[in-house]
């Protein structure tokens, strides 16, 4: 079947022997997009983390899933502690607002990839929903 999926990928725990109660995991990944460039030009970094979490978690909730946890990816040419801390504090705040745990992530320092002061963000979230409560499936909308 070549149908495209929903906003998040679905993983049926029952089908692989870990469920038994109809629980579906929903995974989503996203970034901040061009808003990141605006934040860098304005030198205002405290909100991009909140936005990152929101973009990922939104892809869970539109399928009926409750957010469980979040992981981030922060890449830069040169790690600046204050800037990185500000971004990560925003990510933590986004997780608090979304009621999901920030359980880890990755920080990459790649001098040849990014100009001074530039960075990129990515996020990954996982939520859960009972199969009977799953939204957005064929015939349910």
**pTM of the full structure:** 0.90
Q: Give the number of other CB atoms < 10 A from CB of residue 76.
A: 23
pLDDT confidence of 1, banded at 50, 70, 90? very low
In this prediction, residues 86-108 reach a mean pLDDT of 97
Range scoring the smallest mean pLDDT among 32-36, 47-51, 64-68, 135-139: 135-139
As given in the structure block, the two tokens for residue 67 are 């957010």
Q: How many Å is the Cα radius of gyration of the chain?
A: 17
pLDDT confidence of 4, banded at 50, 70, 90? low
């Amino acid at each position: 079947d070549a149908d495209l999926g929903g906003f998040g990928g679905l993983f049926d725990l029952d089908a692989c022997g870990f469920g038994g109660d109809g629980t579906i995991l929903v995974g989503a990944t996203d970034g901040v997009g061009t808003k990141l460039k605006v934040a860098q030009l304005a030198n205002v970094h405290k909100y991009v983390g909140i936005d990152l979490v929101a973009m990922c978690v939104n892809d869970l909730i539109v399928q009926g899933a409750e957010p469980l946890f979040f992981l981030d990816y922060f890449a830069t040419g040169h790690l600046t502690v204050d800037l990185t801390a500000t971004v990560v504090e925003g990510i933590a705040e986004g997780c608090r607002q979304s009621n999901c745990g920030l359980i880890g992530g990755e920080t990459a320092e790649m001098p040849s990839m990014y100009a001074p002061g530039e960075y990129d963000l990515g996020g990954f979230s996982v939520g859960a929903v009972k199969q009977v409560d799953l939204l957005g499936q064929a015939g349910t909308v």
